[in-house]
Structure 1
Amino acid sequence: MSPRRTRILRPTALLLLLLLLTIAILIIPLYYHRHYDDRDKSFKAPWSQAKDQQRIFRPQHMVKAPMVQPLESSPPEQANAIPDRAHFVYMMSQPEAELGLEFSQALCVFAARYYWRPRQMFLHTNAVDDAIARARNGQSGKWSRLVLGLPEMTVHRVELPIKADNGVEIRKMEHKSDFVRVKAVRDYGGVYLDFDAHLLRDIRPLLRAGFNAVGGRQANELLVSGSFMAKKSATLVNWWYEEMHRVFDGRWTTHSNELMTRIGTSLVPHAGEMLILDRAALAPGGWSKPDCRTLFQSHDYSHPSWLQDYSDTYVLHAFSPRRFHYRIKGFSDITPRYVLSNRSNFALAVFPVAKYMLDQGLIDVDDSHLGI
């Protein structure tokens, strides 16, 4: 039996193999570099020309760039879907006072129009008729006039909740808003959005996913009550509104996030009742000082290591640092100039909406956050 001979590559074949490897090493990085550059241009990122730029891989780069143009009209509704209806709540301790919205609140409303284009929008408020009229004609500031002047916006007057059915007085305005928002979604169906909950993409796929209600986790693993979706009289909102009157004790989240979490979790085993999304979907950040710094701090463009990836976020709940009196570098208020400067994660996330408003002549770079 003859010994087995070892095959040795000829010099020509070896040179050809080395040449192919060299080409692959040079061409592949150039392809991905060009691919990422084209993708980033849609965001108009100021650091795209930086010499020492750092790239963050996003899976959607391998698919296609997301649609960043505003919807021209509302697509047809589906019979068994959560309604294309947005709900906002603005409760006032003095109903006759000015209904003065800020730029950030107008930006939130226009984000819903830009990405989702709901057929109807409701502003639930206890403001008196005169206050609503002043807001519509601009006496309460530019941002109130813009929001209340939208053709799809309906102002729905509600009574200020005073006491829960268990007899406990409802003192905090935030708690009064909790009761109003759940009742609104229970009675009409649709999507509730806090005025600091900014859409980053179309949420219609969630509404048409086949569930009666949709919610998401927040920083402490409870469900976020600042943005949720449900059909009219869905089990979640029916049960939630009934029980919140029974369990309300004046504590911050007993009747809201905690109760919603218990009810929502119990409904998941029942087919089609409840979809619970992970934290990234509706509330990727939090309310701590580090969270607020990550979202709102202004930065130098040359080293974008601070850049956050919101590829899997539908709603960015931007908890304000003002509530806790946090001092954040380069931030005081959300103004057109702050957003259009593109120097923070928040600004980059909401930039397409602000730029659209600027192009439409709705805002000016020098407008104040109060619009007066």
Structure 2
Amino acid sequence: MGKELKHFAHKSDVIRLEALLVSGGIYLDIDVFVTRPFEPLMYHPTTLGMEASPDSRRTELEPEGLCNGVIIAANGSEFLKRWRTTYETFDEGNWAGHSVVMPWQLARKYPSEVQVLSTRAFFWPLWSGNEIEKVHETDEYDFTASGQFGYHAWESLAMKYLSNLSPEKIRTVESSFNKMVRPYIGPNDDVIFRKWKGDKTD
């Protein structure tokens, strides 16, 4: 459409739309952890979740936009077609303009084409304030009791925690995040982890 996509994140924003338009399915950012089966969400042609604005947390239905970190869509989704077309006005300087703000604008204009889930479905706790610290330094938040379908780990902001994880720490350190992922630690993961870190003794 004559708009150059320079940053890999913006290129990825478009590629995920293109892929889903062709094949349909579920797109997840690499730092999304699924906490519940998605089957209850599969009946609508397109499903997205709200991303709350950091200054409107008291009102759940005041989102910053619809985050494209999780997209559930049928192939040929009308909503995704509209979304892709809006890249005619893409602005490199508006970081989340087409990935978060634009789908929310479209959802309000074409509400029958998209199922909008609350901020608590995929993108809670949020990235702002001390929410990331709470998830990794305390066990106050219960991802199972919340009923949410997934957790976006806000990798770029949480890397100081994520990069220091190991199977042993996940098993022994009590945090909301570790309790969420602990069931997925396998019996051989300690050996695999040590080899990945360069330990050749096993």
Q: Does TM, normalized by the shorter one, top 0.5?
A: yes
Corresponding residue for residue 190 of structure 1: 25
Is 2:103 the counterpart of 1:260? yes
Question: What are the within-5 Å matches in structure 2 for residues 1-372 of structure 1?
Answer: 165-167=1-3, 169-207=4-42, 210-220=43-53, 221=63, 222-244=65-87, 246-250=88-92, 251-268=94-111, 270=112, 273-297=113-137, 299=138, 306-310=140-144, 311-320=146-155, 323-324=156-157, 332-354=163-185, 358-359=186-187, 361=188, 363-364=189-190, 367=193
1:260, distance to aligned residue in structure 2 (A)? 1.2
Instruction: Please say which structure displays the higher CA radius of gyration.
Output: 1
Once superposed, which parts of structure 1, at least 4 consecutive aligned residues long, lie more than 4 Å away? 324-328, 368-372
Q: TM-score, normalised by structure 2?
A: 0.81
Give the conservation status (yes or no) of the 8 Å contact 2:35–2:143. Answer: no
Whole-angstrom distance in 1 between the partners of 2:195 and 2:82: 38
Give the AA of the match of 1:203. Answer: F
Give the conservation status (yes or no) of the 8 Å contact 2:120–2:148. Answer: yes
Whole-angstrom distance in 2 between the partners of 1:228 and 1:248: 20
For structure 1, the residue ranges without an aligned partner over 5 or more in a row are 1-164
Q: TM-score, normalised by structure 1?
A: 0.46
Give the conservation status (yes or no) of the 8 Å contact 1:247–1:254. Answer: no
Give the conservation status (yes or no) of the 8 Å contact 1:337–1:366. Answer: no
Give the conservation status (yes or no) of the 8 Å contact 2:27–2:72. Answer: yes
Query: Residues 225 and 325 from structure 1, CA distance in 2 versus in 1: closer, same or farther, beyond 3 angstroms?
Result: closer
1:266, distance to aligned residue in structure 2 (A)? 2.3
Give me the identity figure in percent.
23
1:281, distance to aligned residue in structure 2 (A)? 0.8
Whole-angstrom distance in 2 between the partners of 1:264 and 1:174: 22
1:240, distance to aligned residue in structure 2 (A)? 0.9
Whole-angstrom distance in 2 between the partners of 1:280 and 1:174: 24
CA RMSD of aligned residues (A): 2.4
Give the conservation status (yes or no) of the 8 Å contact 2:121–2:148. Answer: yes
Give the AA of the match of 1:296. Answer: H
Q: SS where residue 225 of structure 1 aligns? A: strand
For structure 2, the residue ranges without an aligned partner over 5 or more in a row are 54-62
Q: SS where residue 282 of structure 1 aligns? A: coil
